[in-house]
Structure 1
Amino acid sequence: MIDFARTVGIVSPLAADLSLALGSSSVGLMELVSVYGVFVNQGMRVEPYAVASVQDSGGRTLDQAAVQPRQVVSRETAYLITNMMEDVIQRGTGIAAKAVIDRPVAGKTGTTNDFTDAWFIGSTPNLATGTWVGFDDRRPLGETESGAHAALPVWSAFMKEALKQLPVVPFEIPDGVMFVKVDPTTALLTDQDEQRGIVELFTKGTEPTKSAGSKIDPTDFYKLDQLQEGSLQNPSPAPIDP
């Protein structure tokens, strides 16, 4: 995980423990936004810069940023991560953005312990931005000030204006990504007409090849427990020797 973080642009110190997956190490806003830029830019990383170019009064370029995009992760990996973050907007903690941003959006909320920080980092295919809400002395914001409640509205208001001059475009799907209908309880293949099936994305070569077969009834364990309890409460009489 740390190696991947370094690859996509995280330079802050990261603790090598399991809690890292939950965000236990602190990372700056610019780092996070630049990483989200990697994902929506199909795996290409561009080092952040503040000044694109400097021109004189006659329009002559005096200096220009040396932009050198680098492919740091595959296009397929970048799209799978982006697609997961699209779900955050469609049915997750970032759903409030749907009412404001009427175009493809991917993003993620963030809330630190004791509500000391609220985050939202989000992207369209042509713009990645982020918001942080908090105090410099790490005072709590308040018990309800989560990323969705405190940071997302700020991000949405900014993006609504910033995107007015940009075209509405979809996230580009790489050729190496497959859409496969799977059983939600087993992640194995299911029939196309199976109502319980869900469509998941895979890179070619990693998709499931086996069928789910018989469906798993989530109440089976409950029924088994009932049967065992009934057997204990009403034991069968011991056989009587003739």
Structure 2
Amino acid sequence: MDKGICSIEIGIDEAGRGPLLGDLVVGVVANDSRNSQWLISANIRDSKELSQKQRENLAKYILEHADLVVTAYVPPRLIDRYKLNKLVADTIVEILEVVIEVLEKPKHRIRVYVDEVKGYSKYIEEKLRKNRRSDVEFVMEKKADKKYPIVSAASIIAKYVRDSNLYASRIIYGDFGSGYPSDTVTRNWISSYSKLYREPPPIVRRSWSTLLNLAPHWYFNPKKGRNILEYLMG
């Protein structure tokens, strides 16, 4: 191999697909494959297999060693209005367009690893291949965050940033638990907070059906563009 050739690996993954509260965060980590031993030695793996403390420590380690780390936020107001997989796919395309443009140089070979977005793998690749060099390689697979350390690193960054944002939100809105619909603390917070305020705070995903039982006046019907009370009243 030409020693002048720099092979860049880019991993991308998201965190926060299922919760009722908070942003969805897309994380990107890029690294020169000739300097990838740190990914192995630190036992970088899927963020879901790690404790919060482990994620925090590894996120700081990744930030110190990776060549490039980028995150993008998808707020609840967008999640409520668009199909989630399409929204994630478009966010991946937009953020990778910028990252590839920064890294794309004559002697850079780029390989992009993406955790599969169901139904949108071909869409993502076709979008990214426009105006790109033909030697940019795309690998999109199910559970890529478990197979490829560079994607695991991206998943850790995405989860770490989302958790940090939730910590800040708890300071403002109180303890709402994990933000998942099955969490009793989250459900109790929704019930209590919705009795005090007609409009929900911006961290709430208003299109989640959980609100129909807990806070129907907060529920937003994306097809109608109205909340459930307005919908029932015609």
TM-score normalised by the shorter chain: which range applies?
A: under 0.3
Q: Which has the higher contact order (CA 8 A, sep 6+)?
A: 2
Name the structure with the higher helix share.
2
Structure exhibiting the larger radius of gyration computed from Cα positions: 1
Q: TM-score, normalised by structure 2?
A: 0.24
Q: TM-score, normalised by structure 1?
A: 0.24
